[in-house]
Structure 1
Amino acid sequence: MEKSDIPRLELASFAEVNYKVPFLDVQHYPLDANYFIIKNRENHPVVDYISPNRRQFFKIFHMTAGTGVLTVGLHQYELCPGDIAFLHPDEIMSWQTTSEKTGGHFCLIHPKYFEHDGDHVLQLLRNFPYFKASKAVIRLTESQSSAVNQSFEAIVREEHAGNDDKKQAISLHLQMILLEAQRAGKNLADQTVPENYGYIYGFLSLLESAFQVRRQDDAIKLKTAGEFAEQLHVHPNYLNTLVKEHTGKTLREHIQERLLYEAKALLIQTDWDISNISYGLGFSGHAAFTSFFKKKENISPSIFRKNAIANLNR
């Protein structure tokens, strides 16, 4: 296979033929995920989804079979066998499969995985030029794709073997993947997606920016659906219809889902008392937050935290 530009599709025209309504399942990354995950697509088939929240994970995936459309930020790519994609934690992304079968591997890498004994690998990830929306996909030659696939298979073996030095071995194979991709890589011409997807992206991006609770004295100022629409300079009814049509959920449902996800994250990942979490999430008090949480999860925030921590410590 000779190197060539990655084909790109106009989302609007593609959607008319291939997308079914709702065409994107909104998926949040699991809060209890391991810091390093490697999977084979034969055992974990690709599903159509959009990942709106900052995932914390660097993601790399390599295709050996099948086709699909990847949108990273406001840039879009049509992928086929031999392509490799690099997704930065801060980018909103979506995927649409356009073939019956898909093959290859993907890995998720949390910065903390290499934090203490692999700083050089972490710096490679942070400085790698293709973790950018406008350069996210590289087309490999057949020999390069074969080498990358062998490296992924070696990582899978190391991950399951449980050797004491497996992280060192994984980092070496990961560096070989980055090297092969960089040898093949080229800058790709920027191309923005159509206006309708731009509004969906804009809403999800604004929604994410509202959830920046990093300290106990931070407080979310949740916007209404109308305020989100105003920031995007579009009528609320139009934005709501557009988002509902393409994700299956209304603006209000997205806002509440993201609020619940943040609540779970703070309960699991911090030791803040529930009153502070209630304040940070914009509730009037402990009782209001508990009522909201129990309505959504059928369990109180305190019991959820206790159960989640117990599961993590198993």
Structure 2
Amino acid sequence: MENSGIPRMELEKFAADGYKVPLLNVEHLPLDASYFIIENRDEYPVKDYISPHRRKFYKIFHMTAGTGGLTIGLHRYEMGPDEIAFLHPDEIMSWQTTSAETGGHFCLIHPDYFGHEADHVLQLFRQYPYFQPDKAVIRLEPEQSARINGFFGTMFREDRGYHDDKKQAIMLQLQMLLLESRRAGKNRAEMPVSEGYGHIYRFLSLLESSFQVQNRDSMVKLKTAAEFADQLHVHPNYLNALIRNHTGKTLREHIQDRLLHEAKSLLVQTDWEINEISNGLGFSGQAAFTTFFRKKVNVSPSLFRKNACA
């Protein structure tokens, strides 16, 4: 490791940047998450969190009340009422609430939700200019915000209803939402992210890319805190302190959490043998993998798969 890459900070600046921040819980969507989720922010308040990429979901959220800080990649926005944000599945994002008041809606849409009959809507999403981190937040006029809130309200009711054509109704509302937002087209000015958050973003991005076990012949690239720090050209102690004080967990805990999440995904979403999953995740053997998994989940990998697929 080259010393020139290690950040040097005065103690007062490090304390200010590294310790006086809210804890951001790192969240992954459940493995069995529905392909379409819509919630009312009044009844489902958003807590402070950071979400790595590979969520596989597009996310749109609209605010009618409250304030908060949204960071998408390395672009930060201070959001408030009458604003809407568009988040692409491949981007790391975080949210920090800055007011007790809340209002609006959010929805998550998996690409598979569209299906063949609504492929044209999926193409709209893929080409939509505001699913980019530097254009992700739009300021709405009050009447535009009211119309968009109405689109969300209709989708919310349809999703919880029993009409045979409710998906068609939801698709129509989504298209109207995209159209209304495009007409508004007033992007919010972004703010620079802190140096500390930049290191957190790069760590989480590297963590995700290192654990993409996509076939039986692939294997995780990095496993130790020192390896991650070396790749990011920072001192392991500095990176560990930064991550711990922003998320409440150490580098090792994040690596083990991501390893466990990938193990669960492979057990539920593939038909690979246990030893193939063990090899892909870099364990010395199936026994070592089973010991790790049982310690974290209190059941063996085979029993977890059986229960999840029952």
TM-score normalised by L of structure 2: 0.92
- Give, in whole Å, the separation in 1 of the partners of 2:117 and 2:20: 46
Partner of 1:114: 114
Contact 1:266 1:277 in 2 (8 A): yes
Q: Give distance in 1, aligned partners of 2:16 and 2:69.
A: 14
- 2:193 counterpart residue number: 193
Structure 2 equivalent of residue 42 of structure 1? 42
Q: 1:88 corresponds to which residue? A: 88
Conserved 8 A contact 2:77-2:189:
no
Alpha-carbon distance in structure 2 between the residues aligned to 1:43 and 1:105? 9
Counterpart AA for 2:246: H
Instruction: Give the alignment of 1:17-36 within 5 angstroms.
Output: 23-36=23-36
Post-superposition Cα deviations, 1:66-108, rounded to whole Å, max 9, x if no partner, equal 0000000000000101000000101101000011121110000
Partner of 2:211 in structure 1?
Answer: 211
Contact map agreement 1:68 1:78 (CA 8 A) in 2? yes
Shift of the alpha carbon at 1:117?
Answer: 1.7
SS at match of 2:44: coil
Cα deviation, 1:172-212, whole Å, max 9, x if unaligned, reads 00011111111111455565412111001111111011011
Aligned residue pairs, count: 296
* Cα deviations by residue, 1:18-58 (Å, 9 ceiling, x for unpaired): x8655211111111100000100111111010112420000
For the 8 Å contact 2:139–2:187, the answer to whether it is kept is no
User: What is the letter of the counterpart of residue 98 of structure 2?
Assistant: T
In the other structure, the counterpart of 1:4 is: none
Displacement of 1:115 in angstroms is 2.6
Over 4 Å off, 4+ runs:
19-22, 187-191
Question: Residues 127-276 of structure 1: matches in 2 within 5 Å?
Answer: 127-186=127-186, 191-276=191-276
Give TM-score scaled by structure 1 length: 0.90
RMSD after superposition:
1.8
Pairwise CA distance, 1:160: 1.1
The alpha carbon displacement at 1:139 in A equals: 0.6
Q: Is the 8 A contact 1:22 1:248 kept in 2?
A: no
Rounded to whole Å, the distance in 1 between the matches of 2:278 and 2:95 is 34
Secondary structure, aligned partner of 2:134: helix
The superposition leaves residues 213-242 of structure 1 with CA deviations (integer Å, 9 ceiling, x where unpaired) of: 111111112232112112221111001001
Distance 1:100 1:51, change over 3 A: same
The runs of 5 or more residues in structure 2 that have no matched partner are 1-12
Corresponding letter in the other structure for 2:38: I
Q: Give, in whole Å, the separation in 2 of the partners of 1:187 and 1:154.
A: 25
Q: 5 Å matches for 1:67-78? A: 67-78=67-78
Question: Match of 1:299?
Answer: 299
Identity of aligned residues (%): 69
Q: Which whole-Å CA distance do the structure 2 matches of 1:280 and 1:27 have between them?
A: 23
For the 8 Å contact 2:200–2:243, the answer to whether it is kept is: yes
- Letter of the aligned partner of 2:234 in structure 1? V
Q: Which letter does structure 2 place at the counterpart of 1:119? A: D
Any unmatched runs of 5+ in structure 1?
1-12
Q: Is the 8 A contact 2:25 2:48 kept in 1?
A: yes
- For the structure 1 residues 16 and 139, does the alpha-carbon distance in structure 2 shift closer, same or farther, using more than 3 Å as the test? farther
Q: Which amino acid aligns with 1:194?
A: S
**Contact 1:21–1:248 (CA under 8 A) maintained in structure 2:** no
